[in-house]
Structure 1
Amino acid sequence: MSGPFADITETVFAEKSVLSESYQPEEILERDEEIDAFSHALQDVLFGREPENLFLYGKAGLGKTAVTKYMMEELKSEVKTRDEADELHVHEINCNGKTLFMVVRRLTNNLLPPEASSFPKRGLGTGDAFEELYQQLDRLGGTHLIVFDEIDHLDDVNTLLYELPRARSNDQISDSLVGIIGISNNYTFRQTLSSKVKDTLMETEISFSPYDAGELRTILHDRADRAFVDGGCDDSAIAKAAALSAQDMGNARQALDLLRVGAEEAERQDDNIVVDTHIEEARTLVQRGRLRNKIRDQTEHAQYILETIAKLENRGEVPARSKTIQDGYEQVAEAYGTTPLTTLKSIQDHLSDLHMLGFLLRHERNQGLSGGQYYEYELDLDPMIVLETREDIIQSSE
């Protein structure tokens, strides 16, 4: 008796990993202007001078992290050929879900010699962690570029961005040079910083705009040449994936997902070539997956509010006013053993944020002199996606 995998003998993929999010291309396509700006901002490193601080802005999937990784590798290679350049150390840390202490502690531990004990998780404060970080920077010497990905997710980011750029001028380091590279999905991140931090940073800003359909086709063709066996993907499927993504978010990650999931659909249907219809079928699957990820990215209380509205929607009780949502939210939060937010204003702030993020539809109502003006809300997505995602989150945390 043959096993369940016995009939699987062919694949459209030659190197499937080329279409994955973790894949780092050797060459960055369609980002020449951003690469030029990056090179100019960091040219001081080649001459042993203090590097500029650099901030990259743009929505997810626009190449910020990929360009940064590429530029760091290129810079490290070039530094080795330059007599004036100091030894270059690059440190990368993702700030999502991290506290300031966790970030500084991790940087410190990355710098410690192998035989040294790790900086403790408890018993010392953030100030102690900064002090140890400065000692380790000077112990190593050279130039240090510290890449903070998703820096807008970090709590107390003002302290980080005030301390590090001033470390040398405040005599906390003397034998090393430090530059900061911040990566943010939030175009308005700088506006949230304190005025003293803005004055201290003096950073170069590079904004990553969405890709158009032509740029996405170039990227997809390059990846498809390596990802698929000869004749495994029709050119029209590549054009379809590029066009759909350009119409939506101009997002390379989304376009690559469409191509990969479309190819998986082709294989599931025993087709030996990826065509337009497979990309169309992938569209629904990719959108569903991205919605799940967006829900996971929200704060705990924002997720409770989404779950509340999803339950109201299943009972046919939407659109709903914020007070109705607050009552349901309190029941949901308490069911999870969490103390709910206590003010209606805090619920309304979350509802406003979720509306701006595209999760909710908001309807303005005007009852005239008798009832006044107010908003009602409902989901702008399938409530089952919310409830299934919440269930997955709960199960994974148990």
Structure 2
Amino acid sequence: MSGPFSDVGNTIFENKSVLTESYQPDTILERDEEIEAYSHALQDILFGREPENIFLYGKAGLGKTAVTTYMMNELLAEVDTRPEADHVHIHKINCNGRTLFMVVRELVNELLPENASPFPKRGLGTGDAFDELYAQLDRIGGTHLFVIDEIDHLEDVNTLLYELPRARANDHISNAFVGIVGISNDYTFRQSLSPKVKDTLMETEISFSPYDAAELQTILQYRADKAFRDGVCKQSAIAKAAALAAQDMGNARQAIDFLRVGSEVAERTGEAHVTDEHIERARGLVRRGRLENKIRDQTEHAQYILEAIARLAETDDLPARSKAVQTVYETVADSHGATPLTTLKSVQDHLSDLQMLGFLIRHERNHGRSGGQYYEYELNLDQEIILETRAEIARHT
């Protein structure tokens, strides 16, 4: 009797991991200007001087994290050859879903001696965590770069960005230098900071713009040469994946996804080459997968509100006002055994957030003094994706 893998034959891949999100390329392509700006901002470290603060801006998939990983590795290697440079410590943290206390506590625990008890989760405040952080920085000495990803997701970001850069000036530390590398998907993030924080940072800003089709084709060619066996991937397929991604988001991650999923389609159907047709089929699969992940990333009640709007779409009752959405939302929340949000304002806040994230289209209505001014909402994606994703989530909760 044959097993489930008995008919698996040869693969078209030489090294499929090259097409995954976690792959860190040896060479960074099409980001020479950003690397030059990054290098200039870090150069003081090579002479034992206090580092500049650096902020990277750009949408997801534009190379911010890959370039940062590359630059940190290059910096560490170069520091080893420079007698004037202090020892450099790189601390990476993601702010998504974390409070300021959680961020500082995690940094403290990374710096504590191996046999020390971790900083407690309860009983002490954020100020205590900062005090311990400063104590550990001074104990270790050297230059410390804090690479803070999704920094715009941190609610009390002003405190973090005031405390760390001024730690030495405020006499919290004397044996160490501190620098911040902030990474944000929000180009307007700096505008939200307090005036005193803006004055304190004096940072170098590096903006990552979307790739064009030619740049994406260069990146995909590099990946394809490593990922596939010789002659497997058609040049036209690489060009198509690059063109589709450039037309949509200018996003390298999306372009690589098109190529990976297209090649999976080819392999699954037993074809020897990856063609334009496979890339076209991948386009729909990738878009659907990204939307599903985006839905799963929303809070519980935001998902219930999306499900409610999808239900309204099923009955052709969109666009709808927030009160109509609230009525269906309450029914949806009840059906999942959850207590609905009690105020219309809470529902309206979620609707506004979902509209900004691209899930919804908002129409402003103005009927003058008789009817007043209000918003109506409708979906900006297929309702079936929402309902199927929500059903899948419900099955596993």
Task: Report TM bin, short chain.
Answer: over 0.9
Letter in 2 for 1:13: F
Aligned to 2:246: 246
Aligned to 2:17: 17
Give distance in 2, aligned partners of 1:161 and 1:326. 38
Letter in 2 for 1:22: S
Aligned to 2:384: 384
Offset, 1:7: 1.6
Give distance in 1, aligned partners of 2:352 and 2:72. 39
Offset, 1:134: 0.8
Give distance in 1, aligned partners of 2:365 and 2:318. 14
Q: Single out whichever of 345-354 and 247-256 deviates more from structure 2.
A: 345-354
Aligned to 1:297: 297
Q: Deviations over 1:158-211 (max 9, x none)?
A: 111111111111111110000000101111111111222112111111110000
Aligned to 2:212: 212
Give distance in 2, aligned partners of 1:338 and 1:54. 43
Letter in 1 for 2:297: D
Aligned to 1:307: 307
Offset, 1:362: 2.5
User: Does the CA contact (< 8 Å) of 1:262 and 1:274 recur in 2?
Assistant: yes
Aligned to 1:56: 56
Give the 5 Å matches for 1:1-398. 1-336=1-336, 340-396=340-396, 398=397
C-alpha distance 41-339 of structure 1, shift in aligned 2 (>3 A): farther
User: Does the CA contact (< 8 Å) of 1:214 and 1:242 recur in 2?
Assistant: yes
Letter in 1 for 2:352: S
Give distance in 2, aligned partners of 1:148 and 1:201. 14
Offset, 1:341: 4.1
Give distance in 2, aligned partners of 1:272 and 1:380. 37
Give distance in 2, aligned partners of 1:336 and 1:37. 51
Q: Secondary structure at the match of 2:363?
A: strand
User: Does the CA contact (< 8 Å) of 1:224 and 1:233 recur in 2?
Assistant: yes
Give distance in 1, aligned partners of 2:333 and 2:7. 49
Give distance in 2, aligned partners of 1:104 and 1:88. 19
Q: Single out whichever of 119-128 and 52-61 deviates more from structure 2.
A: 119-128
C-alpha distance 154-42 of structure 1, shift in aligned 2 (>3 A): same
Structure 2: gaps (5+ residues): none
Q: Deviations over 1:123-158 (max 9, x none)?
A: 211111111111111111000000001111122111
Q: Single out whichever of 367-376 and 255-264 deviates more from structure 2.
A: 367-376
C-alpha distance 319-169 of structure 1, shift in aligned 2 (>3 A): same
Offset, 1:286: 0.1
| Equivalent pairs, count | 397
C-alpha distance 113-229 of structure 1, shift in aligned 2 (>3 A): same
Question: What is the TM-score with the length of structure 1 in the denominator?
Answer: 0.95
Q: Single out whichever of 114-123 and 46-55 deviates more from structure 2.
A: 114-123
Give distance in 2, aligned partners of 1:57 and 1:146. 16
Q: Secondary structure at the match of 1:42?
A: helix
Offset, 1:337: 5.7
Letter in 2 for 1:12: I
Q: Deviations over 1:28-50 (max 9, x none)?
A: 00000000000111111011111
Extract structure 1 runs of 4+ deviating beyond 6 A.
none
Offset, 1:298: 2.9
Give distance in 2, aligned partners of 1:205 and 1:289. 33
**Percent of aligned pairs with the same residue?**
74
Offset, 1:319: 1.4
User: Does the CA contact (< 8 Å) of 1:11 and 1:272 recur in 2?
Assistant: no
C-alpha distance 394-356 of structure 1, shift in aligned 2 (>3 A): same
Q: Secondary structure at the match of 2:3?
A: coil
Q: Single out whichever of 115-124 and 131-140 deviates more from structure 2.
A: 115-124
Letter in 1 for 2:258: L
Give distance in 2, aligned partners of 1:104 and 1:12. 46
Q: Single out whichever of 363-372 and 133-142 deviates more from structure 2.
A: 363-372
Give distance in 2, aligned partners of 1:76 and 1:3. 49
User: Does the CA contact (< 8 Å) of 1:149 and 1:184 recur in 2?
Assistant: yes
Letter in 1 for 2:376: E
Q: Single out whichever of 307-316 and 270-279 deviates more from structure 2.
A: 307-316
Give distance in 1, aligned partners of 2:216 and 2:393. 33
Structure 1: gaps (5+ residues): none
Give distance in 2, aligned partners of 1:76 and 1:133. 22
Letter in 2 for 1:193: L
Q: RMSD of the TM alignment (CA)?
A: 1.7
Letter in 1 for 2:277: T
Q: Deviations over 1:254-276 (max 9, x none)?
A: 00000000000001111010000
User: Does the CA contact (< 8 Å) of 1:362 and 1:375 recur in 2?
Assistant: yes
Offset, 1:394: 4.4
User: Does the CA contact (< 8 Å) of 1:112 and 1:136 recur in 2?
Assistant: yes
User: Does the CA contact (< 8 Å) of 1:241 and 1:255 recur in 2?
Assistant: yes
Question: What is the TM-score with the length of structure 2 in the denominator?
Answer: 0.96
Offset, 1:20: 0.1
